Structure 1
Amino acid sequence: MNLPFLEQNGVLAIGGIDVARLADRAGRTPFFAYDRAAIDARVRMLRDKLPGDIELHYSIKANPMQAIVHHLATRVDGFDVASASEMALALDTGAGARQIGFAGPGKERDELRRAVASGVNIHLESVTQLHLVAALGWELGLRPNVAIRVNPNFHVGQSGMRMGGGAAQFGIDAEQVPALLREVDAHDVALVGFHLFWGSQCLHAATIIQAQQQSAELVTRLATDLPTAPRYVNMGGGFGIPYFAGDTPLDIDAVTQAMHGWLPQFHDRLPGTRIVLELGRYLVGEAGVYVCRVIDRKASRGRTFLITDGGLHHHLAASGNFGQVLRRNFPALLGNRLNDAPQERCDIVGCLCTPLDRIADDVPLPDARIGDFVVVLQSGAYGRSASPADFLGHPAAIEMLV
């Protein structure tokens, strides 16, 4: 695993601070720690490789920790949100309303009212949403900004999670968009863009390249009869990070070089239209760790179990219960024993009363002791906020940006 942080005298360090000192700073385990320098390095790398007129948006759902969102506000060009709470968080950073896109298939009336009032770009996912937004605009005396989220009419290949291409709760089928555009034209709303989200967690560069090119082609066809070119097209992101043994990191050079190739033709056909990349886990996922402590060890019929004070209530994804079909281990290690050679194979489990509460199965580790720090890497995205924190009533995990 290629770490953006590593060791000080055999102890894992995040943001230059070793795990023991971080535990002292937190006051207890478990905790999540996020390395701001690693986040900054990822943003800089993308800025260096992407065409200069590509806009980067941070998808807050990946990690809505307030400190991370405020940190990224001065480093990205906008935010993508999926609830009124995320919208408020984005606006609190000082980001302009026109740099915020509000997506989601089930927007409540109150959420949409707040979105219209704030002036953010509302990504329509149904005719119902269009009618409701238009009515709210009339009620508030405002002209809402809307974009159409398109469920594309193409399928992607190697993607961790498909978000479109077949029947889906997300967006409006591409073949239904022309009729919706006529409806939009009949209402007092401002059409500002399109949003396509074909999938996520993709490590296959050729798939991303193909999806981006097909997205660009689809939007140019849909926008042919518009009186003016859309202000922006949000092409989603889909960039994945390696989680499991055997995963190959995304070839970002191949993706960005291809973008340099197809973007000029896109601008020829839709001059003035900005391309937005909506990235979440790719910006923050590898910059975070989850740290818990071994509180017991036991042998059971030939297997060694390390029982920790953490578990799926803090980090559902690492337990394998956040979309994995066949459970695989996130990279896990003993953060205070990096220089010690593996001596045994262990199952690392949490403290909950369910066999689903597993952090890692059959992993090689040094001779583990009570008090050792278990560190789960690749934990900067879809961790604390994506987990059932109230299950069994244990204390919430602390979060730190260091």
Structure 2
Amino acid sequence: MQANEAGAPDLAHRLVTEHYAIRGKDLIAGGLTVEALADRFGTPLYIYDADVMRRSFNALKDALTGFADIVYSIKANPNPAIARIFVGLGAGIEIASLGEYERAREAGAAPQDILFAGPGKRDAELARVIGEGIGEIHLESFEEIARTNAIAARADKRVAVSLRINPVESVQGGAMRMGGKPSPFGFDEEHIPDVLSAISATTHLDLCGVHLFTGTQILDATVLLAQWRHGLDVAARVAQAIGRPLRSIDLGGGLGIPYYAGDRALDLAAVRRGAMTLTQMKLAEPLLRDARVIVEPGRYLAGPGGLYVVRAIVSKVSRGSRFLVTDGGMHHHLAASGNLGQIIKRDYPVIAPARMDEFAESACIVTGPLCTPLDTLARAARLPTLKAGDLVAVMQSGAYGLTASPAGFLSHPRAAEVLVDQGRAVAIG
């Protein structure tokens, strides 16, 4: 397939080999050719392969057996059809808004299997989920403690809550650090005694656990396991301080997937070995022994199963650089353009899904149709010499794609979404 001319496999090659199949010139997703799907549903198009997502879930579940349960962080891809895949495999859902609560329920998640995190929960959101049912609410500020208690009192309900802890800097890691610095997320670890005092003064809050989230896009198993170990240590200190067992320890998400040249996949064998050690650590602490440990990935589960497919409108050369202008771009896939918080703009793996039998030639700049130089999907894509009408697919696009993008910018058409599963394709957006 599209390796370089010397035949050395690049990241795109490795991902195709791991997750998809090739039939002649065509990339196969869910038993169907990408070209046929693009012809049927139009472009720009998100294609989600249900089987790839199931394999990601089952591989992680196997690595965490005996240690932690998986809760899908629905912010990664809130399409109910995607969430339904993971609910069907036994996952709970982590939400950060009432809208996500409604999507989780639409996906079939029971209220008790939904966790509500986020630093800015509105009173109406809290009232709704408390009234209809929620597994846990993860509290993130002293004001939120007071407001949640008051809302629970009005509803005459005792509500299970966990404390989101902003951990110390020494355990940070990942592409985007979520703790160890001033943050809107959670309570600073050094203020845990004051938080526990505030919780003890409430009448309708049942403190059941703790929640830590230290970073995103972690590819180093050693970093991830160190963060989980710290989470267990924080949980033990909280349990000892309140003098009773905890029921829940949420270690957050942050499990990464390879996006860029040089990235290596998270080593699940190392995660498995580390999880066994952490299980023994947990069992050795009487106040944690029976607690349910939760890991809440989103990107790791949904990302590899997604392709963002666009069609070339124009092929041109400008001052020696080859450009391919397509019908999709940053308005549908902000992350791939490098404009979703990235400091250094690097290319996602990009392929020509209907010309997989050809070697890549010179580097190509792939852009969208928007009137801004920011609308660039790839700056040095190794592709065959494509022309107007040819397809380009951005891999690793199942998470933080369409709903994390300014879809209304310049009023171009919204991208379609399709779920493919063992030869069957269904429009889901």
TM score, norm. by length of structure 1: 0.97
SS in structure 2 of the partner of residue 279 of structure 1 = coil
Shift of 1:226: 2.2
SS at match of 2:242: coil
CA distance in 2, matches of 1:330, 1:113: 41
**Within the alignment, does 1:207 sit opposite 2:223 as a pair?**
yes
Structure 2: state its 5+ residue gaps: 1-13, 421-429
Superposed, 1:261-340 pairs within 5 Å as 261-269=277-285, 270-340=288-358
Query: Cα offset for 1:158?
Result: 4.2
Q: Is the 8 A contact 1:150 1:172 kept in 2?
A: yes
1:135-191 Cα shifts (integer Å, max 9, x gaps): 111111212221110111243354111111121111001121221112112112111
2:165 alignment counterpart: 150
3-state SS of 2:284 partner: helix
Alignment-mate amino acid for residue 278 of structure 1: E
For the 8 Å contact 1:119–1:145, the answer to whether it is kept is no
Does residue 179 of structure 2 align to residue 164 of structure 1? yes
Is the Cα–Cα contact under 8 Å of residues 288 and 378 in structure 1 kept in the other structure?
yes
Q: Which amino acid aligns with 1:8?
A: R
Tell me the SS of whatever aligns to 1:39: helix
Q: How big is each residue's C-alpha offset from its partner over 1:323-342, in whole Å with a ceiling of 9 and x where there is no partner?
A: 21111000011111111122
Pairing 1:42-121 to 2, within 5 Å after superposition? 42-120=56-134, 121=136
Which residue pairs with 1:173 in the alignment? 188
1:34 aligned partner: 48
Partner of 1:127: 142
- Distance in 2, matches of 1:222 and 1:138, equals 25
Of 196, 220, 225, 2:236 maps to: 220
- CA deviation digits over 1:76-107, x for unaligned, max 9? 33110010010111123332322211111111
Contact 2:173/2:215 (CA < 8 Å) preserved in 1?
A: no
Q: What is residue 373 of structure 2 aligned with on the other side?
A: 355
| One-letter amino acid matched to 1:253 | A
Q: Which amino acid letter does the alignment assign opposite residue 74 of structure 1? A: G
SS at match of 2:272: helix
Who is 2:24 aligned against?
9
Distance in 2 (CA, whole Å) between partners of 1:56 and 1:310 is 33
What percentage of residue pairs aligned between the two structures are identical?
A: 41
Q: Distance in 1 between matches of 2:364 and 2:183?
A: 41
Superposition RMSD in Å: 1.3
Contact 2:315 2:323 in 1 (8 A): yes
Question: For residues 67 and 385 of structure 2, what CA distance do their matches in structure 1 show?
Answer: 52
Provide the rounded CA distance (Å) in 1 between the counterparts of 2:108 and 2:417: 23
Q: Which residue identity does 1:318 align to in structure 2? A: A
Name the CA distance, whole Å, in 2 between partners of 1:142 and 1:245: 52
Query: Residue 288 of structure 1: CA displacement?
Result: 0.6
> What TM-score does the superposition give when structure 2 sets the normalisation length?
0.91
Q: Give the Cα–Cα distance (whole angstroms) in 2 for the partners of residues 288 and 155 of structure 1.
A: 34
CA distance in 1, matches of 2:419, 2:208: 35
- Measured in 1, the distance between the counterparts of 2:330 and 2:275 equals 38
Q: Is the 8 A contact 2:306 2:399 kept in 1?
A: yes
Kept after mapping to 2: 8 A contact 1:116/1:145: no
Q: Distance in 2 between matches of 1:375 and 1:156?
A: 36
How many correspondences in the alignment? 401
Q: Distance in 1 between matches of 2:171 and 2:230?
A: 10
